[in-house]
Amino acid sequence: DGGITQSPKYLFRKEGQNVTLSCEQNLNHDAMYWYRQDPGQGLRLIYYSQIVNDFQKGDIAEGYSVSREKKESFPLTVTSAQKNPTAFYLCASSSTRGGLQRTGELFFGEGSRLTVL
C-alpha cells in the first residue's frame, strides 16, 4: 500500500542529545514536509522540500536540520539546540503535478512522539 512511514513512533531523548526521525514515502511525491504539533497550538511548519537536494526553512526551523538525498526520504534531526523539543512530529508529502489543483492536499504519516527526559 502507498503511504508515508514514520519511525520511531515513540522516542525518548536525554537533554543535549541529537535525535533523527525517519520519514519515508512510496507515493512518488516530489514535495515533503515536517510539521510539529503541540497541544493547543495546531501544527507548525519546520522544513519542507519540493525537490531532491533542496529544502527550505519553515516557521520554526531553529534547532532542526533536514536532508533530502532521495525522493522517498526526508529525515529530520532534532538537535541539542532545540530548546523545547518535546512534541509530536508529523511528516507529510504532496504531489506537485496538477499544479493548483493539488494545492495543500497533504498526505501525512502517523507521527513520531518525542519526549525529552
Partner 1 sequence: AQKVTQVQTEISVVEKEDVTLDCVYETRDTTYYLFWYKQPPSGELVFLIRRNSFDEQNEISGRYSWNFQKSTSSFNFTITASQVVDSAVYFCALNFSGSSNTGKLIFGQGTTLQVKP
Rounded distance between C-alpha atoms, residue 115 and residue 117, angstroms: 6
Please, which contacts does 47-53 make with residues 24 or more away whose CB atoms are closer than 8 Å? 47/76, 49/74, 50/96
Is the Cβ of residue 100 or residue 117 nearer to partner 1 in the bound state? 100
The least distance separating partner 1 from the CB of residue 65, rounded to whole angstroms, comes to 19
Is the Cβ of residue 4 or residue 78 nearer to partner 1 in the bound state? 4
The least distance separating partner 1 from the CB of residue 83, rounded to whole angstroms, comes to 21
Is the Cβ of residue 31 or residue 79 nearer to partner 1 in the bound state? 31
What residues make contact with partner 1 under the rule CB under 8 A? 4, 31, 33, 35, 40-45, 48, 50, 58, 88, 90, 92-94, 96, 99-100, 102-111
Is the Cβ of residue 82 or residue 94 nearer to partner 1 in the bound state? 94
Q: Are 114 and 13 in contact, with CB atoms under 8 Å apart?
A: yes
Q: Do you find a cis peptide bond into 85, omega within 30 degrees of 0? A: no
